[in-house]
Amino acid sequence: MFTGIITDIGTVTELEQRGDLRARIATQYDHNGIDLGASIACSGVCLTVIEKGGADVQSWFDVEISAETTSKTNIGAKWQVGSKINLERALKVGDELGGHIVSGHVDGVAKVTGIRDEGDSTRVTFEAPAELAKFIAPKGSVALNGTSLTVNGVDGAGFDVNFIPHTKSETTWGDLAVGDPINLEIDTLARYVARLNEMQGT
């Protein structure tokens, strides 16, 4: 489990198709503190560390990405050597829950449809897949590329989020373009509330 609070920006340094896709990610995390088999959220996708290493101040870890994961996320469209990705280590008992509970299981891919500066902040509009739109509500939570964010407003399948300067500087959100595919994980609570409403309506 994760909280959607990004703690590092990693860089994809190697990609190799070996049946599954294998990626090497450079990080500021100390590789000595990463266990093999550990889960790390990589732009919102929970991936398992299969190898690790490093020299001097540059650590890295390797992950394998199944064809299923590639097809359900933005990895196939966005990841290339040099790509920057949001990283978060798995939540430990006693850690501060600063965002919301995030599983790292991406529900679908949203698309950036608008970017507008408002003072020092930036308002970004997204279009969610139609089947996920009912789970997104004003002032509710979503995880976008692994970042816990609050929804400002909703209009059909469209919704918008405000990014403060700190979020833009500490994540990959400072480098964004209209049309970008974005990993979307809906709030687990919203999913259960919607399911409960469906059951009560039957």
* Residue 150, domain member (yes or no): yes
If one counts the domains in the chain, the total is 2
Residue ranges of alpha helices (H) inside the chain are 67-72, 75-78, 165-170, 188-200
Q: According to the model, what pLDDT value does residue 92 have?
A: 78
Determine if residue 94 is left, alpha or beta; phi over 0 gives left, psi from -120 to 50 gives alpha, anything else beta: left
Asked if 77 and 132 sit in the same domain, the reply is: no
* Residue 139, domain member (yes or no): yes
Q: What is the pLDDT of residues 98-128, one digit of tens each?
A: 778 899 999 999 999 999 999 999 999 999 9
Asked if 81 and 134 sit in the same domain, the reply is: no
* Residue 141, domain member (yes or no): yes
Q: According to the model, what pLDDT value does residue 201 have?
A: 66
Q: According to the model, what pLDDT value does residue 20 have?
A: 93
Q: According to the model, what pLDDT value does residue 32 have?
A: 92
Q: What is the pLDDT of residues 181-196, one digit of tens each?
A: 999 999 887 776 776 7
List the domain range (segments joined by +) for residue 43. Answer: 8-89
For the chain, report the end-to-end CA distance as a whole number of angstroms: 33
* Residue 102, domain member (yes or no): no
* Residue 140, domain member (yes or no): yes
Residue stretches of the chain with pLDDT short of 50: none
Asked if 112 and 84 sit in the same domain, the reply is: no
